[in-house]
Amino acid sequence: MLRGTVSALTRSVDATGVLVVGGLLTLLTWVVTPVWVGGALVFPPLVLLAPLALAPAFVTRGYFVRVLTDGVATGNAEGAPPFVSWNELYRNGVKSALVSAVLLAPLALGVALVALAGGALQSGLVDPAPVVAAIRGSLGDGGVTAVGGVAGGLVGTVAVAYLLAFAYVRPAAVAAFAASGRLRDGLRPRRVARVAGSGAYATAWVVAAATLGAGYALAGPLVPLVIGVGLVFVVRVAAYGLYGRGAAETLEVVDADGTGESTDPAAADAAERSSGLARPPTPEMPPGVQTGRTVSLDEPGGAVGADGGFDWGAPDGDDDGDDADTAGGFEWSTAVADREDKR
């Protein structure tokens, strides 16, 4: 499992491009987002620039969703996907962030309540004297300090436990969303619990956690040299591939037209209900064309070669030019004998 996901990037059709673009997006996320947050605190109108300032983070998240989807569908058999269809990456990144926000909402609410209680005590809106007197009467003069320490420790323990649960459940929720492409599927408790409760996902999550820990420890000292940024991206790609493989036991990718099958009854019902409403994918050039590996001289999907474009690296003799003519492509070179015949 680990070996297959770690080598996914090396098996990509555009491994160098994925590494460079992913590393650059990760670096921009670390630099641009904190600068924007700090600027928005000083100058609130900068909040309006959120769609632009958060674009690197959203695109990166969307790419990880694509890696996870491929993990569920094929176990990343074709390697890490290339950076294509950026509008789709951006949308999926926003949806992934919304899934995280919803899962963190209870913790945020609890922290807000604790902060409000502390503010009320500091401002004098609430008089703690009766409670303090009762504690001192029962536990003595040190009772107030002891109760405060226990309360603080309890709050901290609950917060840490919630964050650990969030770290475990969030990839399962994102996988549930990625398999169908519908945000609501990532927020359905039964669907998410089905993924998170499977033994395959639990094993994959443990392996992914160990991979992330080891990768971050190795990349930390190299971050100032920028090399560590790319290594962080590689490690996260491997982790999301593991999440997808673990979730594949209970999920199956549902096509945009709703024709795909799913082992999750809820997902199958949702796909059937919305099959007539799902927006068809936007026609575009194949990944090989978009990454510069091939050239298409026809409409999207129709060109020389199996992937819709002309293969620059095709060995001599593999294509005699006949396929190019029938497919609407261009014959880049002509044999000497052919040129003599055409004079």
Indicate if 263 and 198 belong to the same structural domain: yes
Q: What is the pLDDT of residue 284?
A: 55
* 100 domain residue, yes or no: yes
With a CB cutoff of 8 Å and minimum separation 6, the contacts of 1 are 203, 204, 207, 242, 245
Of 29-33, 131-135, 291-295, 324-328, least confident by mean pLDDT is: 324-328
The pLDDT-based confidence of 254 (bands split at 50, 70, 90) is low
Q: Which of 249, 216, 209, 210 is nearest to 231 (CA)?
A: 216
Indicate if 163 and 197 belong to the same structural domain: yes
* 156 domain residue, yes or no: yes
Q: What is the mean pLDDT of residues 64-68?
A: 95
Query: Domain end: 273, 297, 321, which one?
Result: 273
Q: What is the mean pLDDT of residues 289-295?
A: 55
Range of the domain at 261: 2-273
* 282 domain residue, yes or no: no
Burial 187-217 (b: 16+ CB within 10 A, else e): bbeebbebbbebeebeebbebbeebbeebee
Indicate if 193 and 297 belong to the same structural domain: no
**Greater pLDDT, 1 or 305:** 1
Q: What is the mean pLDDT of residues 19-30?
A: 94
Query: Domain end: 214, 241, 273, which one?
Result: 273
Residue 147 has pLDDT above 80, yes or no: no
d(CA 285, CA 266): 33
Indicate if 206 and 84 belong to the same structural domain: yes
* 78 domain residue, yes or no: yes
Q: What is the pLDDT of residue 303?
A: 45
Indicate if 236 and 295 belong to the same structural domain: no
The length of the chain is 343
Q: Which of 161, 149, 147 is nearest to 107 (CA)?
A: 161
Indicate if 183 and 313 belong to the same structural domain: no
* 280 domain residue, yes or no: no
178-201 residue pLDDT tens:
998 899 999 999 999 999 999 999
Ranked by mean pLDDT, which of 133-142, 246-255, 291-300 comes out on top? 246-255
Indicate if 219 and 99 belong to the same structural domain: yes
Q: What is the pLDDT of residue 100?
A: 95
Indicate if 261 and 291 belong to the same structural domain: no
Of 66-70, 149-153, 197-201, 324-328, least confident by mean pLDDT is: 324-328
pTM of the model: 0.73
Query: What sign has the CA pseudo-torsion 301, 302, 307, 310?
Result: negative
The pLDDT-based confidence of 171 (bands split at 50, 70, 90) is very high
Q: What is the pLDDT of residue 292?
A: 56
Indicate if 69 and 103 belong to the same structural domain: yes
Query: Domain end: 273, 296, 315, which one?
Result: 273
The pLDDT-based confidence of 287 (bands split at 50, 70, 90) is low
* 278 domain residue, yes or no: no
The pLDDT-based confidence of 266 (bands split at 50, 70, 90) is very low
Indicate if 268 and 325 belong to the same structural domain: no
The pLDDT-based confidence of 273 (bands split at 50, 70, 90) is very low
Q: Give me the number of domains the chain comprises.
A: 2
Indicate if 267 and 291 belong to the same structural domain: no
* 279 domain residue, yes or no: no
* 281 domain residue, yes or no: no
Indicate if 269 and 294 belong to the same structural domain: no
Residue 260 has pLDDT above 80, yes or no: no
